[in-house]
Amino acid sequence: MTQPHVAELIDLLQLERLEDNLFRGQSRDIGTRYVFGGQVLGQALSAAQQTVDLARSAHSLHAYFLRAGDIEAPIVYRVDRARDGRSFSVRRVEAIQHGKPILNCAVSFQIEEPGFEHQASMPEVPKPEDLEPRTPLPAEELASLPAKVQRWLSTDGPFEYRFVWPRDELHPAKRPPFQHIWLRLNQRIDATPALHRALLAYTSDYHLIGTALLPHGVSYLTPGLHLASLDHALWFHRPFRVDDWLLYACESPTAQGARGLVRGQMFDRTGKLVASTAQEGLLRLRTAG
């Protein structure tokens, strides 16, 4: 039997087809103020994948977050079939709420074909089984946070994360701008590679921009911090499963002008590089006075 949070996420990513190139999705309230960006990414990719021949797989996605999403309203996804060539197809997707776009993205697809191969090596880190699950906040500290944040921190999600270097988000210490996180879907699923890619797009937005905060001694729980994804790029390199452990290696090479850049690489347990990410996010700290 599928776990409720896993089943809910899979249902969110399936989408309702309104027309050949028009889809509608709902949102899951996970305790964030607005719709989680990874949800919109996963749904946009799902919409694009439903307009492409099954012999073609998504290999890259480039998106811009334009407006915050309303959790209470559905999202309409309009797909433009920009190109269908011999080897590649391109789809442009616009996510719309209340008559305005909240995300624009382009997704490129390719037929399977052989070619040169090389890859970066996976970092040497402990196995996920050797790491402890994340420790919940003490009840008294949790009670001091806003209601939505409490729900965010106390609700079990569809993915499990194990941090090589855990961090106290309420009392963050300064440290170098990189982190390694093992992640996997909480349950084994019988699903198509397209659904695994949509699920990876969803979880790729977790913990990514937070890497840019590490050297500054702040976290998403710091009062006055405004943290938001501005764009997101995702490349799929090799086959993978999201219901088996993947290592997310994230690094932030720069932050400036109230923006931070983060790059990520995802490896499977055997060390294969299966996906890469890049994201720039807004890092704005409002101080009292």
Cβ(75)–Cβ(97) below 8 Å: yes
Ranking 30-34, 154-158, 198-202 by mean pLDDT, the lowest is: 154-158
Tell me if 34 is assigned to some domain. Answer: yes
Tell me if 197 is assigned to some domain. Answer: yes
Active site residue 229: yes
**CA pair distance 186, 24, nearest whole angstrom:** 26
Tell me if 129 is assigned to some domain. Answer: no
- pLDDT band at 30, cuts 50/70/90? confident
Q: What is the pLDDT of residues 67-83, one digit of tens each?
A: 999 999 999 999 999 99
Tell me the residue ranges of DSSP E strands in the chain: 16-19, 22-25, 56-65, 75-84, 88-97, 100-111, 159-163, 178-185, 225-229, 231-236, 246-256, 259-268, 273-285
Using the predicted structure, report yes or no on whether residue 136 has a pLDDT greater than 90.
no
Q: Which residue among the candidates 27, 229, 265, 276 is catalytic per the annotation?
A: 229
Residue 229 Cα distances to 1, 107, 118, 218, 278, angstroms? 34, 18, 30, 17, 11
- pLDDT band at 287, cuts 50/70/90? confident
CATH of the domain at 178: 2.40.160.210
Tell me if 122 is assigned to some domain. Answer: no
Question: Which structural domain range is residue 86 located in?
Answer: 4-111+137-285
Q: What's the whole-number average pLDDT of the chain?
A: 92
Full-model pTM: 0.93
Q: Please compute the mean of the pLDDT values over residues 128-132 and round it to a whole number.
A: 94
Instruction: Please count the structural domains in the chain.
Output: 1
Cβ(55)–Cβ(83) below 8 Å: no
Q: Which residue among the candidates 205, 231, 243, 268 is catalytic per the annotation?
A: 205
246-256 and 75-84 as β-strands: parallel, antiparallel, unpaired?
unpaired
Q: Please compute the mean of the pLDDT values over residues 44-72 and round it to a whole number.
A: 96
Using the predicted structure, report yes or no on whether residue 26 has a pLDDT greater than 70.
yes
Active site residue 27: no
Tell me if 123 is assigned to some domain. Answer: no
